[in-house]
A and B are shown apart, each in its own frame.
Chain A
Amino acid sequence: MINKQMMTIVAKDDIAKDTIEMKLLGSVNLNSAEPGQFVHINVGNSTSNMLRRPISIADVNKDQQTITIIFKVIGSGTDQLRKCVIGDDLDVLVPCGKGYPIDNLPATRALLIGGGIGVPPLYYLAKQLHEKGVEVTSILGFQTKDNVFYHSEFEEFGSCHIVTDDGSYGFKGYVTDVLDNENIDFDYFFSCGPTGMLKAVSNKLEHKKGYISIEQRMGCGIGACYACVVPTNDQSGGFKKICKDGPVFRVNEVVL
């Protein structure tokens, strides 16, 4: 169930170019939060930034009751969030959406593919999979060296391939190039990133079982306003709400 709570910023770090990691301390129990779910943050006062901003849950610390978010400053809302300091309270809806359904999957070897600001939710996923004894391999793509974050964090859970568009860190190229070049053995894949990347990954791994997480501009964030719909892929004329039915979907479940 979604709670609206005031969460206190207890840590804040710049971890890459325009990329900030924040730890938020909850006042309501956070144990139910799953990898792939998001928080919907009120970044303004009552008249500026009317719409909340969806940011993925990048990690949960159940002992300390904190969640970690990682966001990139791309506009007014994330810039507002960047200005918040340790000790500030944020008005947050948590947890929103449906995460990666890992509890019900017979996965033994997982491949995680993330691009840019799609990397954060995969961290908590990697951690959870690792805890369940699933072998984790990650491929993370960034624009340039300045944008890379969490390389060593992902390596704690298994091998991690980094690619950059210009080759300034790791391999030069796209995440799909790693799929071509390395012979990675896996039974399920999990991906989050820009739509172009998700399309390329879904096409390349067409015959594999996997889950992807997608983004859309949101209004309510809880399934009431129909701002964030995406058509389903089954020709039924059906649709899903990304904020409530997603943001995680089975690969090919919805039209990218």
Chain B
Amino acid sequence: MSLQINLPGLALKNPIMPASGCFGFGREYGEVFDLNQLGAIIIKAATKEERYGNQTPRVAETSSGMLNAIGLQNPGVNNIIDNELPFLANYDVPIIANVAGSSVEEYIEVTKAFTRTSTVKAIELNISCPNVKEGGIQFGTDPELAAEVTRRVKEVSHVPVYVKLSPNVSNIGAMAKAVESAGADGLSMINTLTGMQINLSSKRPLLANKTGGLSGPAIKPVAIRMIYEVKQQVSIPIIGMGGIMTAEDVLEFLLAGANAVAIGTANFNNPFICPEIIGELPGVLTKYGFDSVEDAIGKGHEHGYTYLSRT
């Protein structure tokens, strides 16, 4: 069965890729399985300068998920280009670079640096990291700012730009439409939902950053609903993510309207989750009557593109 999917800038062998921040720059997982099996790899967020990130504890477990507040720790875009991309270039897998920043200028600088390389096949514009105070997230919650940063980044990027949307908004459709009209080639959704956990014995928030981003199966219904809703309002492709643990989950995302999917938290539970899901996907597609990945995309909308009521 064909698992192939073509998206702007990305010829994918299959629709499965590890999500940004959950796979580092591939080295560690490259020691446990052959990365060539992956559809693509989305690397960890890059900023212009090196960032240390937040204090620890940075992760906490929740019911059916986890909170993280890593704080965009990364060695800076130039170090990533010099020290990490050459390793990834050894694989026959498209690399998607996740770009973060606290100003439009920073997003532009980082994008420019990545698009000068031949390894990066697409940009994932991260306007949705909930874990840094000085920016990022305001671009993800205000449609005008989101459109502005998308437009400016598109001007300098030589590769397609996928904008990663934040679920921490009341009208996800408005965000999606704003970045589509600003020239986004695709969407990536969803990033984490802001949350908190308070430790009973210390009587304090468990994470040093107090708040963190909720990911894992706990957020899957939110992701499915948002993708379903956005699919009805835009025509650019969607990379879907949020709580995927199984090949059945992947099919659910495809039905909702995702063209490909990313897997984050599940890698921590099972480092082999991506290749395992790739192996199981054909069987699951067949079971539910599909001949290819392409065939299943958007099929959850059979009953017409009626708008969802927004409560």
Residue from the list B23, B68, B270 in contact with A227, Cβ < 8 A: B68
Q: Determine if A50 and B65 form an interchain contact, defined as CB atoms under 8 angstroms apart.
A: yes
A42–B272 Cα distance when bound, in Å, is 13
Q: A112 CB to closest chain B CB, in angstroms?
A: 26
Task: Give the 10 A-B residue pairs with the shortest CB-CB distance, closest first.
Answer: A224-B24, A227-B59, A224-B28, A223-B28, A217-B57, A222-B28, A220-B268, A47-B64, A51-B61, A226-B73
Q: Determine if B269 and A46 form an interchain contact, defined as CB atoms under 8 angstroms apart.
A: yes
List the B residue with the shortest CB-CB distance to A49: B61
Q: A221 CB to closest chain B CB, in angstroms?
A: 7
A9–B130 Cα distance when bound, in Å, is 41
Q: Determine if B31 and A50 form an interchain contact, defined as CB atoms under 8 angstroms apart.
A: no
Q: Does A48 contact B (CB under 8 A)?
A: yes
Q: Determine if B272 and A4 form an interchain contact, defined as CB atoms under 8 angstroms apart.
A: yes
Residue from the list A2, A48, A219 in contact with B66, Cβ < 8 A: A219
Residue from the list A2, A225, A228, A244 in contact with B32, Cβ < 8 A: A2
**Chain A 1-34: CB-based contact to B (< 8 A → 1; otherwise 0):** 1101000000000000000000000000000000
Residue from the list A42, A93, A216, A224 in contact with B57, Cβ < 8 A: A216
Q: Which residues of A contact B63 (CB under 8 A)?
A: 48
Residue from the list B65, B245, B246, B269 in contact with A52, Cβ < 8 A: B269
Q: B259 CB to closest chain A CB, in angstroms?
A: 25
A93–B265 Cα distance when bound, in Å, is 16
A230–B59 Cα distance when bound, in Å, is 14
Q: Determine if B271 and A226 form an interchain contact, defined as CB atoms under 8 angstroms apart.
A: no
Q: Does B53 contact A (CB under 8 A)?
A: yes
A42–B273 Cα distance when bound, in Å, is 13
A51–B268 Cα distance when bound, in Å, is 7
List the B residue with the shortest CB-CB distance to A218: B59
List the A residue with the shortest CB-CB distance to B269: A50
Q: State whether A50 and B66 are in contact (beta carbons under 8 Å apart), knowing that A221-B268, A226-B53 are contacts in the complex.
A: yes
A46–B243 Cα distance when bound, in Å, is 11
Q: Determine if A220 and B28 form an interchain contact, defined as CB atoms under 8 angstroms apart.
A: yes
A77–B58 Cα distance when bound, in Å, is 18
Residue from the list A46, A49, A228, A244 in contact with B246, Cβ < 8 A: A46
A and B contact pairs by CB, cutoff 8 A, 28 listed: A2-B31, A4-B272, A46-B217, A47-B217, A49-B61, A51-B59, A216-B57, A217-B57, A217-B58, A217-B60, A220-B268, A220-B271, A221-B268, A222-B271, A223-B27, A224-B24, A224-B28, A224-B29, A225-B21, A225-B70, A226-B44, A226-B58, A226-B73, A227-B68, A237-B52, A239-B52, A239-B73, A244-B28
Residue ranges of B at the interface with A (Cβ–Cβ < 8 Å) = 21-24, 27-29, 31-32, 44, 50, 52-53, 56-66, 68, 70, 73, 216-217, 245-246, 265, 267-272
A225–B62 Cα distance when bound, in Å, is 17
A244–B27 Cα distance when bound, in Å, is 12
List the B residue with the shortest CB-CB distance to A228: B56
Q: Determine if B28 and A50 form an interchain contact, defined as CB atoms under 8 angstroms apart.
A: no
Q: Determine if B269 and A51 form an interchain contact, defined as CB atoms under 8 angstroms apart.
A: yes
A52–B268 Cα distance when bound, in Å, is 8
Q: Which residues of B contact A1 (CB under 8 A)?
A: 31-32
Q: State whether A227 and B58 are in contact (beta carbons under 8 Å apart), knowing that A2-B32, A51-B269 are contacts in the complex.
A: yes
A50–B61 Cα distance when bound, in Å, is 7
